[in-house]
Amino acid sequence: GAGVSQTPSNKVTEKGKYVELRCDPISGHTALYWYRQSLGQGPEFLIYFQGTGAADDSGLPNDRFFAVRPEGSVSTLKIQRTERGDSAVYLCASSLGGWVTDTQYFGPGTRLTVL
Amino acid sequence: AQTVTQSQPEMSVQEAETVTLSCTYDTSESDYYLFWYKQPPSRQMILVIRQEAYKQQNATENRFSVNFQKAAKSFSLKISDSQLGDAAMYFCAYRSPGGGADGLTFGKGTHLIIQP
């Protein structure tokens, strides 16, 4: 595709439910990042993939959050036992490689609302 | 850990005028990269401009330029000849030279309003 795509665009769920958020990076990009943007805040780093492996998951807030990228392309962010505090926009970005000079291209995000 | 501070929650400017958005950061590293990203209502973050800390020359991209003061740890964005399409949230971001690990560290953003 032409850019990074994320589905769904919006997700409303109830407290305690499980959700999956999908990210489709730019074709050929080996690096993939997930960020969380709470209302009125800048994006906050969650996890970085280089290929299929999570090279850095230090930003994941707790063990309810998990992400995979099994074939080195599409990634899924999984949130178990959702809480109201998980409500935010979840942004995905990809870059050609993991070098700091590689521009990160962002998707439009998924707005998650936990009731 | 690095921190990025944007002290202006909102700025307003008349169309065609110049506006400067402020950003300061805190780091113990000597080499790093700084960025300005634009986020329109569509939510998609777009890279506006990038500055490498080892470069003394300020980066410019058409109407966008930065004033990078390394000693003061300041990185402001100047937008010349403001246009209606410039209206958006602007985020200052920091990245360590190590690359992938840590991702980008963002400030809270400045909401830029363009008055026609």
Q: With a cut of 60, say whether residue B100 has pLDDT above it.
A: no
What is the mean pLDDT of the segment spanning B5-30? Answer: 96
Taking the CB of residue A94, how many other CB atoms lie within 10 A of it?
26
Quick check: B108 and A41 CB within 8 A?
yes
Q: Is the dihedral of CA A10, A17, B103, B71 positive or negative?
A: positive
Q: How far apart are CA A50 and CA A86, in angstroms?
A: 25
Contact B79, B48 (CB under 8 A): no
Q: Which residues of B touch A59 (CB under 8 A)?
A: 103
Query: Diameter of chain B by CA atoms?
Result: 43
Closest CA to B11 of B21, B25, B26: B21
pLDDT for residue B37: 97
What proportion of chain A, given as a percentage, has pLDDT over 70? 99
| Interface membership of B96 toward A (CB under 8 Å) | yes
Quick check: B4 and A48 CB within 8 A?
no
pLDDT in tens, B31-42: 899 999 999 998
Quick check: A42 and B93 CB within 8 A?
yes
pLDDT for residue B5: 97
Quick check: A98 and B97 CB within 8 A?
no
Q: How far apart are CA A25 and CA A13, in angstroms?
A: 25
Alpha-carbon gap: B10 to the closest alpha carbon of chain A (Å): 12
Closest CA to B38 of B57, B63, B69: B63
Residue A93: closest C-alpha in chain B = B45
Contact B58, B67 (CB under 8 A): yes
pLDDT in tens, A40-91: 999 999 999 998 888 888 899 999 999 999 999 999 999 999 999 999 999 9
